[in-house]
Amino acid sequence: MTTTLAAPATRPTSLTLDDRLALASLAMDDRLARAGLAVDINSAHVPVDPLPEITIPQPPAAAPCPYRTPLAALLHRARVRIQADGWCRDALFDEAGAVCPVRAIRLEASSRHQADGACHLLLEAIKRHWQAETVPSWNSQQTSPAPVLLAFDRAAELAHTRNL
């Protein structure tokens, strides 16, 4: 009679936290891959409508600034802003985004000193061609943006000739 000796029972080693996390990660990867495959299979028969083409309106190309002096360039940018945003007559700005000449200059200026200089030049250009005491009082007398844009052109030319 032969007797077999059973191997001594070994206790399994306990897994560390990192080992258990790695095994759980592998199990989750497998479950996610199977779920993704199931979605692909279950939705293969569903017709797909093409997405409508969405076009984003492009802002109008800004006119290149013809002036190299800072105040002339500022007055040109303020003129372009009034053309783009709209002209406001009796307030600094309105709900639609339109701006008055002083507000346009302030928005485009890099400093208060620069804005003040541009406003003085604009007032000087206005006084040369129209009867006015201040830019806001002259602006409120206008009936269209055409004279305002012309005043900006004349003020920019004045700043350019003075090299300001």
Token pair listed for 54: 């969405």
For the chain, the structural domain boundaries read: 70-161
Alpha-carbon distance of 156 to 75, in angstroms, equals: 6
What is the model's pLDDT at position 7?
60
pLDDT, tens digit only, all 164 positions of the chain: 566 666 666 766 788 999 999 999 999 999 999 998 888 888 877 777 777 777 777 666 666 888 899 999 999 999 999 999 999 988 888 888 899 999 999 999 999 999 999 999 999 999 998 888 999 999 999 999 999 999 999 999 999 999 98
What is the model's pLDDT at position 76?
95
- Per DSSP, the three-state class of 103 is helix
